[in-house]
Structures are given as structure tokens and as C-alpha cells.
């Protein structure tokens, strides 16, 4: 795990949207959350604001093993987590 955030694509909760899971180191562990935006904003590489973003906090976990379980629960192989620019994470 890097000292920066890592992300992976996940299935969006709503049609017409794209989503990622993000993991960021914080004091005492790792914050894990999902981010969704309208698909057309990702496709067009358009600028967008907070009103277009849906975030869902999955929690802050003290160990990598707990992060792996949280990510796996979303249907993502933890080995797919990578630098944000490698999976088009827009933020």
C-alpha cells in the first residue's frame, strides 16, 4: 500500500453512473469510501462540482486485512487497487 490514495472501479448503485472505491491513509488506519458520478461527466472529461458526486463512507479500518475485506465486499479484488490515474478516478 502506498502512502497516497488508491482506487479501483466498482459497479455503481444507480444506472447511468460510474463508481470507484477509494482507500486513503489516515491517522490510525485507512478510510474507505465509494464515489459515484454521472457517466457522461466521466466520458466527457468534464468539470463538475460536489453536487454531481455521491460518496458513501464504508468506514475507517485499522488494518490492511480489514480494508481488503471491505473492498472484497464490494466485489473488487484488493489487488486491483491502484494509483487513481490508472483507472480514470476523476477526483
What burial class does residue 45 get, using C-beta atoms within 10 Å of its C-beta: 0-12 exposed, 13-18 middle, 19+ buried?
Answer: exposed
Task: Write the pLDDT tens digit of every residue in 10-31.
Answer: 999 989 999 999 999 999 899 9
- Tell me the longest C-alpha to C-alpha distance in the chain: 37
Q: What is the CA radius of gyration of the chain?
A: 13
**CB-based contact 80:1 (threshold 8 Å):** no
pLDDT tens for the chain, 91 residues: list them. 457 899 999 999 989 999 999 999 999 899 999 999 998 888 766 778 888 889 999 999 999 999 999 999 999 999 999 999 888 888 7
Backbone angles phi and psi of 19, in degrees to 5: -145, 155
Quick one: which of 49, 50, 51, 53 has its CA closest to 34? 53
**pTM of the predicted structure, to 2 decimals:** 0.88
Amino acid at each position: 500500500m502506498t502512502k497516497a490514495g488508491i482506487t479501483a472501479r466498482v459497479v455503481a448503485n444507480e444506472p447511468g453512473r460510474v463508481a470507484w472505491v477509494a482507500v486513503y491513509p489516515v491517522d490510525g488506519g485507512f478510510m474507505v469510501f465509494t464515489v459515484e458520478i454521472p457517466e457522461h461527466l466521466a466520458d466527457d472529461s468534464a468539470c463538475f462540482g460536489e453536487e454531481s458526486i455521491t460518496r458513501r463512507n464504508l468506514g475507517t479500518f485499522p488494518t490492511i486485512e480489514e480494508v481488503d475485506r471491505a473492498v472484497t465486499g464490494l466485489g473488487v479484488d484488493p489487488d486491483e487497487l491502484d494509483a487513481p490515474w490508472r483507472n480514470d478516478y476523476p477526483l
